[in-house]
Structure 1
């Protein structure tokens, strides 16, 4: 799959982690709002931490647009 910016993401259902762990699971279609997905390869690395910090800093801008921001990693 080679998605382009703006393409609709396929639905997924995954366990929530970190600050969102109390959600239990995250299902994309259940969010019913625009979603910004960002992917990072490994937790607790300098590059990935910097990326997450940048998305956190931009969170108010995404919230003004009514969007949810979700970071995804293959880490368990």
Structure 2
């Protein structure tokens, strides 16, 4: 768990078009990373 003011570790994710987004691409922008368990999993 990150603490307030702690930098985000480096990461890469694929967007809905299959394009890679890096957290460094988002510097200076507001963004929200939302994730959830795969559908049909308990919890």
In the superposition, the TM-score normalised over structure 2's length comes to 0.54
Larger RCO (CA within 8 A; separation ≥ 6): 1
Aligned length: 38
Structure 1 segments (4+ residues) deviating >3 Å: none
**RMSD value, Cα:** 2.3
> Which residue in the other structure is 1:48 paired with?
none
Gaps of 5+ in 2: 39-43
Alignment partners' CA distance in 2, 1:22 and 1:30: 16
In the superposition, the TM-score normalised over structure 1's length comes to 0.37
> Which residue in the other structure is 1:30 paired with?
25
Gaps of 5+ in 1: 34-66
